[in-house]
Amino acid sequence: MSAFAPIPESLLQAAAANPRRLAPPAWQPRSPRRTEDLDVPEGMVYDLALRHINHRGICTIQILAEVLKLPLELAEPLFRRLNEQQLIEVRRMLGDDYVFSLSANGRKLALERSLASRYIGPVPVALQSWAESVRAQVTSLEVSRESLRRAFSDIVVGDELLDALGPALISQSPIFLYGPSGTGKTTVSERLMRVFSDAIVVPYAIEVDGQIITVADPAVHEPVEFPGLDIDPRWSVCCRPFVAVGGELVAPMLDLQRDDNLGIYNAPLQMKANNGILLIDDFGRQAMSPRDMLNRWIVPLDRRVDFLSFGSSGKFDVPFELLVVFSTNLAPGELADEAFLRRIPNKILVKPVEAEDFDTIFRGVAKKMEFQFTSDVPAQLRQLCLAHSPDLRACFPRDICSLLRAIHMYEGSQLTITRADLERAVQGYFL
C-alpha cells in the first residue's frame, strides 16, 4: 500500500462510531442460544412478539429478530410457535424468510395482553444479570497528574486542583466541589469523564417481578461500535454515562417513574448513571431540600446499594456503582450535617483564578472567537473586573467576550477589542 492509499471505508466507519478510541467493554454478555438463556418469563417474550407484529401489521422473521433484539436462531422458533398456535398467518415467502401478520385470534390476544402493558421494545434482561454487569464493570482507575492534564488540556486548571481530583477519582468516593460562582466547577465536572478509557454495556430494559424498567437512554448512553463484537443484542454498547441535573431535580426523579401510557417504568437518574458519573449541579438550589436529598442517599453512598419499589409492593435492591459529584457555591456546612459530610470524603475547593491564569483564559477565548487585540488588553480586563468583583473568576473572559462579540455583530464593526469596548461590556455584565 502506498503512503497515500485511501483509508479503508470499514476503518473510517469504525473511527466515526468510536471517536474517543475507547477499549471494548471488559464484561460482554454472551449471545443467547436457547429461549431459556433469556432468563425472563417466556410469556413476556411471546406477548412482546405479538405486540410488535400487531404494531407493524406485516412482519418477517428477520424484522422480528431486529425489533426484539434477539438472535435470528431464537426468532425462528418463536415464529414457529406462534404459527402452531394459529396466532399468525403466513402471507408469502420473501427469499428464505416468511412474511406474516396476526390472525384474528392473534389480534384478540394482543389486545388483551396490551391492557397490562403496551411496551414495544427489545426483550428485557433479568435484574440479576444487569446487577452482575454493573458490578463487573466497576473500573479501577489509573490516574496521574499527567493523565489529568491531558484530560483538562482544553481549559486552564492548576496543579493544586488536579492533585485534589486525582486521589478522589482513584478512590471512586463521592466528591464535593465548592467555591464561588463562576470558578469552573461545572466545567471541571464535565471533563472528569475523560479519565475513563473503556466502553460498557447497558441493557435496553430489565425485568423485575413481571414489570419492565427501561434503562438505556440515548440522552445518557452514547452508542459506540466495535466491529465483530458478538454479544447479546439486548445490550447496548456505549460510553460510560455522564448524568447532570441542576435546580430542576425533584424527589420523584430519584425513584422509578411509571409511564401509564405504556404500563412500564423508567429508571431513575442514579440507576442510569451506574458505571459513570452523576453530577448534582447547583446543589442546595433544588426544590427538593438538601436534607431530604442527603437522607435519601445516605445508605446508597455508604453501601453502594440503592432500594427501589413499584409503589405499594416490596422493595428490591439495585447497584449504586457510580461517582456522585456535588457542585455548589454555597458553604458546605450550611447544606449538610457532619454525619453526611463524613460520607463525602473528598471536599475540594475550586478557587478563583490567579492573574496569570486569567490572562491565559482570556487569550484562549478571544482567539477562538477570532478577536484582534493588543498585548495590554488582558491586564485592562483584569483591572475592570476587579473594580466590580473581589476576585477573578474563570467565567469572566468567556462571558465578556461573548458580550463583545454580540456588540460588534450589532454594530457591524470589526472584531477588535479596545478599552472602550471592555468598559462597555463590563458595565453591562456586572451589577
* Domain shared by 326 and 249, yes or no: yes
* Domain shared by 171 and 254, yes or no: yes
Mean pLDDT rounded to a whole number for the chain: 91
In a domain? residue 21: no
At residue 289, the pLDDT reads 84
Residue 7 to residue 133: CA distance in whole angstroms: 36
In a domain? residue 201: yes
CATH number of the domain residue 212 falls in: 3.40.50.300
Q: Is the pLDDT of residue 7 over 50?
A: no
Q: Is the pLDDT of residue 193 over 80?
A: yes
**In sequence order, which residues have a C-beta less than 8 Å from that of residue 237 and are 6 or more positions away?**
24, 25, 199, 200, 201, 223, 224, 225, 226, 229, 231
Q: Is the pLDDT of residue 294 over 90?
A: no
At residue 311, the pLDDT reads 78
**Domain end (from 325, 349, 373):** 349
At residue 20, the pLDDT reads 63
Q: Is the pLDDT of residue 10 over 70?
A: no
Instruction: Return the percentage of the chain with pLDDT > 90, whole number.
Output: 80
**Domain end (from 88, 123, 158):** 123
At residue 11, the pLDDT reads 37
In a domain? residue 10: no
Q: Give mean pLDDT, residues 54-80.
A: 95
In a domain? residue 234: yes
Q: Give mean pLDDT, residues 402-407.
A: 95
* Domain shared by 107 and 245, yes or no: no
Per residue in 32-45, pLDDT tens? Answer: 998 889 999 999 99
Q: Give mean pLDDT, residues 331-348.
A: 82
Q: Worst-scoring range by mean pLDDT, 210-224, 291-305, 329-343, 395-409?
A: 329-343
* Domain shared by 234 and 308, yes or no: yes
Domain that holds residue 71: 41-123
pLDDT bin (cut points 50, 70, 90) of residue 6 is very low
In a domain? residue 53: yes
Q: Mind spelling out the 3-state secondary structure of the chain?
A: CCCCCCCCHHHHHHHHHCCCCCECCCCCCCCCCCHHHHCCCHHHHHHHHHHHHHHHCCEEHHHHHHHHCCCHHHHHHHHHHHHHCCCEEEEEEECCEEEEEECHHHHHHHHHHHCCCCCCCCCCEEHHHHHHHHHHCCCCCCCCHHHHHHHCCCCCCCHHHHHHHHHHHHHCCCEEEECCCCCCHHHHHHHHHHHCCEEEEEECEEEECCEEEECCCCCCCCECCCCCCCCCCCEEEEECCEEEECCCCCHHHHCCEEECCCCEEECCHHHHCCCCEEEECCCCCCCCCHHHHHHHHHHHHHHCEEEEECCCCCEEEEECCCEEEEEECCCHHHHCCHHHHHCCCEEEECCCCCHHHHHHHHHHHHHHCCCEECCCHHHHHHHHHHCCCCCCCCHHHHHHHHHHHHHHHHHCCCCEECHHHHHHHHHHHCC
* Domain shared by 226 and 264, yes or no: yes
At residue 257, the pLDDT reads 93
Number of structural domains the chain divides into: 3
Residue 242 to residue 109: CA distance in whole angstroms: 41
* Domain shared by 229 and 322, yes or no: yes
Find which of 117-121, 156-160, 237-241, 337-341 is predicted with most confidence, using mean pLDDT: 237-241
At residue 296, the pLDDT reads 86
Per residue in 155-172, pLDDT tens? Answer: 999 999 999 999 999 998
* Domain shared by 245 and 298, yes or no: yes
Residue with cell 479501577: 140
At residue 101, the pLDDT reads 96
CATH number of the domain residue 104 falls in: 1.10.10.10
**Domain end (from 315, 331, 349):** 349
CATH number of the domain residue 374 falls in: 1.10.8
* Domain shared by 114 and 252, yes or no: no
At residue 340, the pLDDT reads 76
Q: Give mean pLDDT, residues 264-290.
A: 93
* Domain shared by 283 and 201, yes or no: yes
Q: Is the pLDDT of residue 13 over 80?
A: no
In a domain? residue 11: no
